[in-house]
Structure 1
């Protein structure tokens, strides 16, 4: 079943709950991840993809090895008060609110600028983040390439036959789609 998010984009409602419910993530790790992520269920499900498709080891194309926890910060950063973005080239979500589960503003941080998100949910903010890569012709962050490729091919169904998917991305897609 597909639903429309706040921005009018069709999103497969079941895909993220399928990830949490599948045997891909052990039960002990699932509860640990949910405690560690502390976001609303939509954002926690998206960030779970970073743990399921972690950053590649260092050494490939000069990539610097970062931890999965650090990679999560490349997707979304939380602030209790509005603050300026860092100067990273890759876009990320800046979430402003009282807690990670109670966000009242989302921004896309890009090249030192903050672009306010039109939608008010974490899912619509991620939708805008993903689309910012296409609008501004920005390649995916190397540490998040697996996650973004999975989202591109599995959720948005973009260039499924032409995208280079890692074996881990192919395996996760196959488990969810079969």
Structure 2
């Protein structure tokens, strides 16, 4: 897990060209779309990833922020009949990867609220987003407890759940998953078809 985290932080710092940035707002608390400057969005998320837990009372912790950063750096590819570019707000993008519920909220109630089949995602339970004490992998309206409360360890389990259950990636997160699969986990790197953006990021990180 330490290696995975180092790779995520290394990628973020490399592409942003900075180590941190001072700001009074974080991207995850705003409903922004991807038409805004991606470099500025990356800087804001990198700041959140570098912040202390106390500074993140209204946002995710630094580990989750590092993962979310990759979503904005590798947004969805065009899909559908019209091949129109995908446009996701920050909230929509993270919603496909992780959902937050407060401690004491019924997990069964959350599962009952699912109205359509979704690809696996993380359900984070805590007093606030920066203080998660339990993660679950939600798949087919079942919540499978993660073995560790650590964000990156839980994300590792989420990634591997796709392999165990032989399920495809969420298409809006496919670029991120393909990047992690081929660059971090180094699975089928030579045979997996990825878009130019993923190839570019993978080449920059590995060389």
Give the TM-score range, shorter chain.
0.7 to 0.9
1:124-163 to structure 2, matched below 5 A, reads 124-163=153-192
The structure with the greater share of residues assigned to strand is 1
Q: What TM-score do the two structures reach when normalised by structure 1?
A: 0.84
Unpaired stretches in structure 1, ≥5 consecutive residues:
none
* Structure 1 counterpart of 2:118, from 59, 80, 89: 89
State which of 74, 84, 99 in structure 2 corresponds to 1:53: 74
Pair 93,166 (structure 1): closer, same or farther in 2 beyond 3 Å = same
| Cross-structure match for 1:106 | 135
Unpaired segments ≥5 residues, structure 2: 22-39, 49-55
Query: Any runs of at least 4 consecutive aligned residues in structure 1 with deviations exceeding 6 A, and if so which?
Result: 61-64
RMSD: 2.6
What's 2:98 paired with? 76
- Provide, for residues 48-104 of structure 1, a one-character-per-residue CA deviation record: whole Å limited to 9, x for no partner: 111111012343698994515212111101111343232433000000001111001
Q: 2:44 aligns with which of 32, 36, 40?
A: 32
Q: Deviations 1:23-60 (Å, cap 9, x if unpaired)?
A: 44676433433559921111111111111110123436
- Matched-pair contact (CA < 8 Å) for 2:77–2:85: no
Say if 2:136 and 2:146, in contact at 8 Å, map to a contact too. Answer: yes
Q: Secondary structure at the match of 2:144?
A: strand
- Shift in alpha-carbon separation, 1:74–1:123, aligned structure 2, 3 A: same
Matching residue of 2:10: 18
**Mapped contact 2:121–2:139 kept (Cα < 8 A):** yes
- Which structure has the larger Rg? 2
Taking the aligned partners of 1:72 and 1:25, their CA distance within structure 2 comes to 23
Q: Deviations over 1:3-25 (max 9, x none)?
A: xx3xxxx7344212212321446
Query: Which residue among 143, 151, 172 is the counterpart of 1:122?
Result: 151
- The alignment's TM-score, normalised by the length of structure 2, stands at 0.73
